[in-house]
Structure 1
Amino acid sequence: MEMQLIDTAIPDVKLIEPTVYGDQRGFFYESFNARTFAALTGVSTPFVQDNHSRSMRGVLRGLHYQIRQPQGKLVRVVSGEIFDVAVDIRRGSPTFGKWVGDYLSEQNKRQIWVPAGFAHGFVVVSEFAEVLYKTTDYWAPEHERSILWNDATIGIEWPDAGELVLSAKDLAGKAFEEAEVFTGSVS
């Protein structure tokens, strides 16, 4: 296979590392293949939307999720570096309220699979970063929610990214204890 699966502390969240072919001309790798992705993760849900963001150092986006039309996300960085985080918000899950995080960068070319039922966020640790992600459902602003990035109950250990910059929406996120979470299936 052209990709390797790396387990995280939350079994449903996976890191995916591609095989990169490089020489004096540059490099090539397959960033997505539906058959390989399904074989590695067991997920065959189609992706319906691609998103692209560019953010400067210290920009923290998240922790976002949709209470209806939950989105699975396949996230990668094409320029710069981020610390990417997934928080399990599936009530009844053995990892409910737990988080995992890892660095994604243009150098390591890793991707992270964040299933539906997780809140997602990242902070830019390089001068800037361009982040691409595929989603399994469409953006539905009326169903979008945000959990505070620094919620003490979750206790995310964010790396030092300098002075943090958050949107008004993210600054107004709810505490984990007050947030709407998933109580049923998120398939």
Structure 2
Amino acid sequence: MPATSPVQRADAARNRERILAAARAGFAEPGTPLSMAEIARRAGVGMATLYRNFPGRQDLLEALYTDQVDAVCAAAAEVEGSPGNALIAWVHRFAAFFASKHQIAAELLAQAEGPGPVLDRSRERVLAAGRPLLAAAQEAGEVRGDLTLEQVLDMVIAVSAIHGDPEYSRPILQTALDGLRRG
């Protein structure tokens, strides 16, 4: 069978998804150090398969981060409701994304000499996806007109930095988001 047969490509794609799923689940466990060997074990693949898909840890982290940014950006087009409600729903999605990917982003920053192109591009993509939601909500008079999307997302990031479990920080975030609404 040739090396580029459709069966092998499908198998390779499944292996890549298994690796990403195992890494995603592993990074969701707070405080658990996650080695490449542990990711391979959880995915049920060998180290050669892992490194064929992701030559280094940074490659894997960037793929995980990019997948989640894709989901947040796609969510901007999927939220429903009035413009204000759509914005708030999307900001909640962003908050969940940020909380779950904080460890990955921190490791990406630690490995690089600064934010790097993946984090920079990701921020710009998220802002581009969310700006129409904020503009529509502001034009409809449903949210304050004196804030930029950068300010709104920085507020969410600041709330996410508060120590405590999600049950502790959820009402704090909701109070902050309630402050976006016009009185």
Which structure dedicates a bigger proportion of its chain to helix?
Answer: 2
TM-score normalised to structure 2 length: 0.24
Which structure carries more relative contact order (alpha carbon 8 Å, separation 6+)?
1
**Looking at CA atoms only, which structure, 1 or 2, has the larger radius of gyration?**
2
